[in-house]
Amino acid sequence: MAGKFITLEGGEGAGKSTHVKRLCAAIEAAGIEAVATREPGGAPGAEEIRKILVEGEPGRWDALTETLLHFAARAEHLARVIRPALARGAWVVSDRFVDSTMAYQGYAQGVGRAKVEEISRAVLGGFGPDLTIVLDLPADLGLARAGKRASGGTRYESMGLAFHTKLREAFLDIARREAQRCVVIDATMPKDDVAAAILAAVRERLSLPAV
């Protein structure tokens, strides 16, 4: 596959969707096709699964069931969007991928690293991002930002501060374990500074040409 796959990770309110768009614009400015996408979702069938994951009460699903639903959506996303885009040379930038399942279900909901890794191997066959940007900020600030969204909250946002504090710790632990793939960026900085830091990391790690 000739393209590059970049994921943005982090807790609620970290600014992932905003910075996916900004990064894609920078990639396009460098003369490379960029595809912005998200998880759960990103493909029609995966978006249908997204609806049942992000709506309803916090305890709607058993943690393992929820993990499997995320991977079902991911398999569809990979087959319909990510792999075809990479094959034609596009750079794909996704708001969340496997690290979110590891953090939310593996760590915070107790499924465990080993089980998520086992499912990931079965579904993805070792496929993963070329670069992951972890946008880090305190959980209380992230929830406050998320609460201001015009679109309203999701069931994940209603899971409480203790849950989201575990999430932050989980993402930082993942980044420590996989430092060659992951770059942690302080998401409390002004948006322009965060965008500049993301772009610098992409240029350094993936040799994105400067405009």
pLDDT digits (tens, 9 = 90+) for 62-79: 999 999 999 999 999 999
Omega into 40 within 30° of 0, i.e. cis? yes
Other beta carbons within 10 angstroms of residue 164's beta carbon come to 23
Task: Of 8, 4, 190, give the one whose Cα is nearest residue 89.
Answer: 4
Q: Say if CB 69 and CB 61 are below 8 A apart.
A: yes
Task: Of 93, 118, 117, 124, give the one whose Cα is nearest residue 177.
Answer: 117
In this prediction, residues 54-69 reach a mean pLDDT of 89
| Contact partners, residue 113, CB within 8 Å, separation at least 6 | 102, 106, 107
Q: Give residue 56's pLDDT.
A: 79
**Alpha-carbon distance 87 to 2, whole Å?**
6
What predicted TM-score, i.e. pTM, was given to this entire model? Answer: 0.93
| Contact partners, residue 97, CB within 8 Å, separation at least 6 | 7, 9, 39, 74, 128, 129, 132
CATH fold, domain 5-206, is: Rossmann fold (3.40.50)
Tens digit of pLDDT for each residue in 106-157?
Answer: 999 999 999 999 999 999 999 999 999 999 999 888 888 877 665 556 777 7
Percent above pLDDT 90 for the chain? 79
Q: How many helices (H) and strands (E) would you count in the chain? A: 9, 5
Domain ranges of the chain: 5-206
